[in-house]
Amino acid sequence: MTVYSPVISRHCQAGQFVHVRIGDSFNPFLRRPLSIGPCDGDYLRLIFTVKGIGTKILSEKQPGDMIDLIGPLGKPFYLPDEKSCPVLIGGGIGVVPLLTLDDHIKKAVFLLGVQSKTSLTVDESEINQRGISIASDDGSIGFNGNVVQLFEKTLQQWSGTEKQKIIVYACGPMPMMIALKSVCAKFSIKAYLSLEAPMACGVGACQSCVVRKAKAEGYYLVCQDGPVFDAQDVELQP
Protein backbone atom coordinates (compact mmCIF):
# COMPACT_ATOMS: atom_id res chain seq x y z
CA MET A 1 0.00 0.00 0.00
CA THR A 2 1.41 3.39 -0.97
CA VAL A 3 0.47 6.14 1.47
CA TYR A 4 0.75 9.89 0.96
CA SER A 5 2.17 11.19 4.22
CA PRO A 6 4.82 13.91 3.78
CA VAL A 7 5.46 14.34 7.50
CA ILE A 8 6.14 10.65 8.16
CA SER A 9 7.92 9.84 4.91
CA ARG A 10 10.29 12.78 5.24
CA HIS A 11 11.05 12.35 8.95
CA CYS A 12 11.19 8.59 9.47
CA GLN A 13 14.30 6.45 9.74
CA ALA A 14 14.75 2.82 8.74
CA GLY A 15 13.41 0.47 11.41
CA GLN A 16 10.65 2.75 12.66
CA PHE A 17 7.00 1.87 12.40
CA VAL A 18 3.55 3.42 12.16
CA HIS A 19 0.55 2.55 14.28
CA VAL A 20 -2.39 2.24 11.95
CA ARG A 21 -6.02 2.91 12.80
CA ILE A 22 -7.86 0.37 10.71
CA GLY A 23 -11.18 2.18 10.31
CA ASP A 24 -13.84 4.29 11.96
CA SER A 25 -15.65 1.44 13.72
CA PHE A 26 -14.71 -0.09 17.07
CA ASN A 27 -13.82 -3.41 15.46
CA PRO A 28 -10.90 -3.71 15.59
CA PHE A 29 -10.54 -1.36 18.51
CA LEU A 30 -6.74 -1.30 18.64
CA ARG A 31 -4.38 0.11 16.05
CA ARG A 32 -2.01 -2.28 14.27
CA PRO A 33 1.77 -1.71 14.04
CA LEU A 34 3.38 -1.88 10.58
CA SER A 35 6.98 -1.19 9.62
CA ILE A 36 7.61 1.82 7.45
CA GLY A 37 8.62 0.47 4.06
CA PRO A 38 10.65 2.30 1.41
CA CYS A 39 9.83 6.01 1.14
CA ASP A 40 9.77 8.10 -2.00
CA GLY A 41 9.37 11.83 -1.43
CA ASP A 42 6.01 12.40 0.20
CA TYR A 43 5.01 8.73 -0.09
CA LEU A 44 5.75 5.67 2.00
CA ARG A 45 5.03 2.01 1.41
CA LEU A 46 3.32 -0.36 3.84
CA ILE A 47 3.81 -4.00 2.93
CA PHE A 48 1.81 -6.51 4.93
CA THR A 49 0.36 -9.99 4.96
CA VAL A 50 -3.29 -10.52 5.86
CA LYS A 51 -3.28 -12.19 9.28
CA GLY A 52 -6.62 -11.31 10.82
CA ILE A 53 -9.36 -8.70 10.82
CA GLY A 54 -7.13 -5.62 10.91
CA THR A 55 -4.90 -6.45 7.96
CA LYS A 56 -7.92 -7.86 6.07
CA ILE A 57 -9.78 -4.54 6.32
CA LEU A 58 -6.59 -2.66 5.47
CA SER A 59 -6.09 -4.78 2.35
CA GLU A 60 -9.54 -3.71 1.12
CA LYS A 61 -8.82 0.03 1.16
CA GLN A 62 -9.24 1.77 -2.18
CA PRO A 63 -7.13 4.45 -3.86
CA GLY A 64 -8.10 7.79 -2.35
CA ASP A 65 -9.23 6.36 1.00
CA MET A 66 -7.86 8.13 4.09
CA ILE A 67 -6.07 6.23 6.84
CA ASP A 68 -5.02 7.48 10.25
CA LEU A 69 -1.38 6.78 11.14
CA ILE A 70 0.64 7.62 14.24
CA GLY A 71 4.33 7.76 13.49
CA PRO A 72 7.16 7.52 12.97
CA LEU A 73 7.42 5.46 16.18
CA GLY A 74 10.21 3.48 17.83
CA LYS A 75 13.97 3.50 17.63
CA PRO A 76 15.52 3.06 14.18
CA PHE A 77 18.45 0.92 13.06
CA TYR A 78 21.89 2.35 13.80
CA LEU A 79 23.51 2.96 10.44
CA PRO A 80 26.86 1.25 9.84
CA ASP A 81 30.03 3.25 9.28
CA GLU A 82 31.85 2.98 5.96
CA LYS A 83 34.37 0.40 7.18
CA SER A 84 31.80 -2.20 8.25
CA CYS A 85 30.13 -4.88 6.13
CA PRO A 86 26.36 -4.70 6.67
CA VAL A 87 24.41 -7.93 6.18
CA LEU A 88 20.63 -7.60 6.03
CA ILE A 89 18.73 -10.77 6.92
CA GLY A 90 14.96 -10.90 6.56
CA GLY A 91 12.50 -13.68 7.24
CA GLY A 92 9.17 -13.53 5.40
CA ILE A 93 7.36 -10.23 5.87
CA GLY A 94 10.17 -9.20 8.25
CA VAL A 95 11.95 -8.00 5.13
CA VAL A 96 10.02 -4.70 5.15
CA PRO A 97 12.20 -2.56 7.48
CA LEU A 98 15.29 -3.98 5.78
CA LEU A 99 14.11 -2.69 2.40
CA THR A 100 14.01 0.79 3.92
CA LEU A 101 17.44 0.26 5.50
CA ASP A 102 18.82 -0.99 2.19
CA ASP A 103 17.92 2.38 0.66
CA HIS A 104 20.29 4.06 3.16
CA ILE A 105 23.22 1.65 2.87
CA LYS A 106 25.57 1.19 -0.02
CA LYS A 107 26.70 -2.34 -0.86
CA ALA A 108 24.87 -4.38 1.78
CA VAL A 109 24.66 -8.15 1.50
CA PHE A 110 20.93 -8.88 1.55
CA LEU A 111 19.48 -12.31 2.39
CA LEU A 112 15.80 -13.19 2.52
CA GLY A 113 14.23 -16.43 3.76
CA VAL A 114 10.79 -17.58 2.64
CA GLN A 115 8.84 -20.81 2.97
CA SER A 116 8.60 -21.33 -0.79
CA LYS A 117 8.61 -19.52 -4.15
CA THR A 118 4.88 -18.90 -3.81
CA SER A 119 5.34 -17.03 -0.52
CA LEU A 120 7.89 -14.46 -1.68
CA THR A 121 7.42 -11.19 0.19
CA VAL A 122 9.30 -9.09 -2.39
CA ASP A 123 8.59 -9.17 -6.12
CA GLU A 124 11.18 -10.57 -8.47
CA SER A 125 12.13 -7.25 -10.07
CA GLU A 126 12.96 -5.80 -6.63
CA ILE A 127 14.91 -8.94 -5.72
CA ASN A 128 17.06 -8.49 -8.82
CA GLN A 129 17.38 -4.73 -8.45
CA ARG A 130 18.53 -4.99 -4.83
CA GLY A 131 20.60 -8.15 -5.39
CA ILE A 132 18.75 -10.11 -2.70
CA SER A 133 19.79 -13.75 -2.19
CA ILE A 134 16.83 -15.98 -1.43
CA ALA A 135 16.64 -19.07 0.77
CA SER A 136 13.51 -21.21 0.73
CA ASP A 137 12.52 -23.91 3.20
CA ASP A 138 11.30 -26.22 0.42
CA GLY A 139 14.11 -25.42 -2.04
CA SER A 140 11.70 -24.10 -4.68
CA ILE A 141 13.75 -20.91 -5.10
CA GLY A 142 17.35 -20.01 -4.29
CA PHE A 143 19.24 -21.74 -1.49
CA ASN A 144 17.61 -24.93 -0.21
CA GLY A 145 17.31 -24.29 3.52
CA ASN A 146 16.53 -21.49 5.91
CA VAL A 147 18.05 -18.03 5.80
CA VAL A 148 20.23 -18.57 8.89
CA GLN A 149 21.81 -21.57 7.17
CA LEU A 150 22.34 -19.39 4.10
CA PHE A 151 24.02 -16.79 6.32
CA GLU A 152 26.32 -19.47 7.80
CA LYS A 153 27.23 -20.60 4.28
CA THR A 154 27.90 -17.00 3.24
CA LEU A 155 30.12 -16.55 6.32
CA GLN A 156 32.45 -19.27 5.06
CA GLN A 157 33.47 -16.94 2.23
CA TRP A 158 34.72 -14.30 4.66
CA SER A 159 38.11 -14.37 6.38
CA GLY A 160 38.37 -13.95 10.15
CA THR A 161 39.32 -10.28 9.82
CA GLU A 162 36.44 -9.60 7.44
CA LYS A 163 33.99 -11.31 9.80
CA GLN A 164 34.86 -8.77 12.48
CA LYS A 165 33.56 -6.01 10.18
CA ILE A 166 30.15 -7.60 9.70
CA ILE A 167 27.10 -5.98 11.25
CA VAL A 168 23.90 -7.99 10.98
CA TYR A 169 20.53 -6.26 10.70
CA ALA A 170 17.62 -8.67 10.95
CA CYS A 171 13.87 -8.93 11.21
CA GLY A 172 11.82 -12.09 11.04
CA PRO A 173 9.98 -14.74 13.03
CA MET A 174 11.23 -15.52 16.54
CA PRO A 175 12.77 -18.97 15.77
CA MET A 176 14.86 -17.31 13.05
CA MET A 177 15.95 -14.51 15.38
CA ILE A 178 16.94 -16.98 18.12
CA ALA A 179 19.02 -19.08 15.68
CA LEU A 180 20.60 -15.96 14.18
CA LYS A 181 21.49 -14.51 17.57
CA SER A 182 23.25 -17.76 18.42
CA VAL A 183 25.29 -17.79 15.16
CA CYS A 184 26.27 -14.14 15.64
CA ALA A 185 27.35 -14.82 19.23
CA LYS A 186 29.44 -17.81 18.06
CA PHE A 187 31.40 -15.62 15.61
CA SER A 188 31.34 -12.46 17.80
CA ILE A 189 29.34 -10.62 15.13
CA LYS A 190 27.45 -7.48 16.10
CA ALA A 191 23.73 -7.86 15.40
CA TYR A 192 20.75 -5.54 15.55
CA LEU A 193 17.39 -7.27 15.66
CA SER A 194 14.04 -5.66 14.92
CA LEU A 195 11.54 -7.44 17.14
CA GLU A 196 7.79 -7.86 16.85
CA ALA A 197 5.44 -8.02 19.80
CA PRO A 198 1.69 -7.65 20.08
CA MET A 199 1.07 -3.95 20.72
CA ALA A 200 -1.86 -2.01 22.11
CA CYS A 201 -0.86 1.64 22.58
CA GLY A 202 2.39 1.72 20.57
CA VAL A 203 3.79 4.58 22.66
CA GLY A 204 4.98 3.10 25.95
CA ALA A 205 1.85 3.47 28.05
CA CYS A 206 0.21 0.03 28.30
CA GLN A 207 3.25 -2.25 28.93
CA SER A 208 1.88 -4.93 26.59
CA CYS A 209 4.92 -5.33 24.34
CA VAL A 210 7.69 -6.52 26.63
CA VAL A 211 10.93 -8.36 25.92
CA ARG A 212 13.15 -9.53 28.76
CA LYS A 213 16.46 -7.68 29.32
CA ALA A 214 19.53 -9.90 28.94
CA LYS A 215 21.96 -7.94 31.11
CA ALA A 216 19.68 -6.74 33.90
CA GLU A 217 16.44 -7.52 35.66
CA GLY A 218 13.23 -6.42 34.00
CA TYR A 219 11.91 -5.78 30.55
CA TYR A 220 12.22 -3.45 27.59
CA LEU A 221 9.18 -2.11 25.79
CA VAL A 222 9.40 -3.09 22.13
CA CYS A 223 7.39 -0.05 21.01
CA GLN A 224 9.50 2.51 22.84
CA ASP A 225 12.93 0.98 23.55
CA GLY A 226 12.81 -0.90 20.21
CA PRO A 227 11.70 -2.34 17.92
CA VAL A 228 15.43 -2.45 17.07
CA PHE A 229 17.67 -3.90 19.78
CA ASP A 230 21.31 -4.89 20.06
CA ALA A 231 21.03 -8.70 20.10
CA GLN A 232 23.16 -8.89 23.24
CA ASP A 233 20.71 -6.74 25.19
CA VAL A 234 17.61 -8.91 24.85
CA GLU A 235 16.70 -12.41 25.93
CA LEU A 236 14.65 -13.98 23.16
CA GLN A 237 12.03 -16.56 24.02
CA PRO A 238 10.21 -18.90 21.59
Site of interaction with ligand FAD (CB under 6 A):
17, 28, 32-35, 47-49, 51-55, 93, 96, 196-199, 227
Min dist. Cβ of residue 200 to ligand FES (A): 5
Are 148 and 125 in contact by the 8 Å Cβ rule? The answer is no
Between residues 72 and 227, which has the closer beta carbon with respect to ligand FAD? 227
Q: Given the DSSP bridges, would you call strands 85-91 and 109-114 parallel, antiparallel or unpaired?
A: parallel
Q: Which does 23 bind (CB under 5 to 8 A by kind): ligand FAD, ligand FES, none?
A: none
Min dist. Cβ of residue 6 to ligand FES (A): 26
Min dist. Cβ of residue 3 to ligand FES (A): 21
Is 30 one of the binding residues for ligand FES (CB under 6 A)?
Answer: no
Is 195 one of the binding residues for ligand FES (CB under 6 A)?
Answer: no
Q: Which does 131 bind (CB under 5 to 8 A by kind): ligand FES, ligand FAD, none?
A: none
Is 208 one of the binding residues for ligand FES (CB under 6 A)?
Answer: yes
